[in-house]
Amino acid sequence: MTKMTVIWILVCASVFAITRTQLTYTMREQPSACVPMMGLTYNFRTTSSVLCGMLCGEKRAVKYTFNNITNKCILYGEGYAAASSTNTLHLFPSPNSLEDVATGKAASASSLLQSLYLYNPSMAVDNLETDDSTIFHSDMNDLLPWWLLDLGESRMIHEVQILPRRDCCEYRFHDVEIRIGDVQPTNGDFSSFTLFSTYKGPYSSTLGRLSCARSDGLSGRFVVIMKVEVISGSEYLQMADVNVFVQK
């Protein structure tokens, strides 16, 4: 038995002391990589969460869920986890313990396409979650654009979900960082914020929402989503929807 196999068994053995029907584990590789909620998911049947966790480790997925009634094992982001014999999986908080607090919160950005209200930063946290006609869109001359959400108070953040624009040029969503902080900088420098998650990309519309999750969570009032690398001359940041899930 390899060292990696032993690690999966030790981490996942705690599942038998938990009565929840569906359990979610995330890779303890912090900051984690954002993974698609569609497209790069794989379904298996296993007899226990232990075996599901071992499969997750073997395939270097960053997250898995196991339903102990249907024995359904779902892996997310296969191949996204770092190749390491010391990776471990930690139990993610129950969905009932989390709430989305992003909708309607104050949002700002480094730029706005042609100063049009249609592309206002608040459009990414409106009630039209899957509508590509209401999106945030940065300006063309903003090579490293950012979008900032103010939660109003410091909260324990466990997951940020992002739905990039899908009806045009979705490949523009790439090389993105999500950072968390408590004090908003006045100069657009977010290096003092703690890195929560990353997304290399490029994005494809077939992938659906991106899940950026941390089992340990990060406490902060501000969530910034920012581009950190320039590939071409038009480095737009385009997002249709953003959700931020915090501890209730």
Residue holding tokens 């009806």?
167
Q: CA 104 to CA 106: how far, in whole Å?
A: 7
Type of residue at 187: N
Predicted TM-score (pTM) of this structure:
0.80
Q: CA 112 to CA 129: how far, in whole Å?
A: 20
Average pLDDT of the segment spanning 85-90: 66
pLDDT-derived band at 216, boundaries 50, 70, 90: confident
Q: Encode pLDDT of 122-174 as tens digits.
A: 999 987 766 677 899 998 888 899 999 999 999 999 999 999 998 888 889 99
pLDDT exceeds cutoff 50 at 234? yes
Q: Encode pLDDT of 29-69 as tens digits.
A: 567 788 887 655 678 888 888 888 888 888 888 778 888 88
Provide CB contacts within 8 A for 187, sequence distance 6+.
none
* Residue pair 216/179 in contact by the 8 Å Cβ criterion: no
Q: Encode pLDDT of 103-124 as tens digits.
A: 999 999 999 887 666 789 999 9
* Alpha-carbon distances of 28 from 20, 62, 191, rounded to whole Å: 21, 8, 23
